[in-house]
Amino acid sequence: MTVRQVLISGAGSGFGRALAQRFAAAGCRVGCADINADSARETAAMLPGDGHRVYQVDIGDDASVARWQSEVAATGEPVDILINNAGIASGGTLLEADMAEWQRVLNINLLGIVRACRAFLPAMQKTGSGHIVNVASFAALAGGPGIMSYGVAKAGAYTLSDQLRAELHGSGIKVSVVCPAFFQTNLLSNWEGSERMRGVAEKLMRDSPDTLDSVSKATFEAIERGDFLILPTKREPMRWRIKRWFPNLYFRQLMKLVASRSRGG
């Protein structure tokens, strides 16, 4: 049986590590990529099976991503699944987020995905197979106040995935985009911007009914099915339906929720 090779950026912790564990348990060989090589090695060491690899990659840097692609190509094994998971969290309004924050968040959360797709897509096109999975956020689909740069970057990741899916139709290459809401993970360890919004995000994560285990399981199963839009947190499928079918109602409910939280409710 052919062993699938799965590349995961941001595999050194949190959601990326949990996905690495899921795919390794399914018999895949996992390439653990992270800006922190020690964290990537820790992930690889805890995975079942053998042949897992470690890559130190800064997805915000052209040369680093090009080196990653060269190292993967040198293995002689095709990439079956590319999971673009690495990113940073940010918070603040349009005016609170300065241009340095905008540039950093867009460079990593959006252009990092562009770099990785451009690096690994040509080889997939040669084989006529593969699966690109981009991790965005529910903020990409339904914006809210206070996460401006993050929401815009993730919306770009969603639209990139939608466009890429259309471009690759009929090629044998699948595209998925993962859009979770806040859940209990280490997302805030790479936080940019407003400390006020960091506190809000921490509360949302604490109050979430979702866990790292449940979200990674739902995501893994949806990737295996070949779903395009993956909403792995429990409340978001219904929220997405309301947003699409009754946008004004959704907006009113969102504003009531924001007002309640601002009062400490």
- What are the tokens at 150? 């993050």
What is the number of alpha carbons within 13 Å of residue 9 lying toward its C-beta?
Answer: 30
User: 219-249 as b/e, with b when 16 or more CB fall inside 10 Å?
Assistant: bbebbeeebebbbbbeebeebbeebeeeeee
Q: Give the model's pLDDT for residue 178.
A: 98
Q: In what order do the strands lie in the sheet with 81-84?
A: 53-56, 29-34, 5-9, 81-84, 130-135, 173-178, 229-230
- What are the tokens at 46? 């805890």
Residue pLDDT, tens place only, 212-238: 999 999 999 999 999 999 999 988 899
* pLDDT by 10-residue block (mean), the chain, 265 residues: 86 96 97 98 97 98 99 97 94 88 96 99 98 96 86 97 98 98 66 59 65 95 98 92 94 82 56
Question: Known catalytic residue: 150?
Answer: yes
Cα–Cα distance measured from residue 133 to residue 227, given in angstroms and rounded to the nearest whole number: 10
Q: Are 40 and 54 in contact (CB under 8 A)?
A: yes
Q: Where are the beta strands (DSSP E) in 130-178?
A: 130-135, 173-178
- Contact residues for 203 (Cβ-Cβ < 8 A; gap 6+): 261
Q: Give the model's pLDDT for residue 23.
A: 98
Residue pLDDT, tens place only, 106-134: 999 999 999 999 999 999 999 999 999 99
Q: What angle do CA 22, 25, 30 make, to 5 degrees?
A: 75
Q: Give the model's pLDDT for residue 156.
A: 98
Q: Give the model's pLDDT for residue 191.
A: 59
pTM for the full model?
0.91
Q: Give the model's pLDDT for residue 193.
A: 58
Beta bridge partners, 174, equal 131
Helix axes 99-109, 148-167, angle to 10 degrees: 30
Beta bridge partners, 81, equal 6, 131
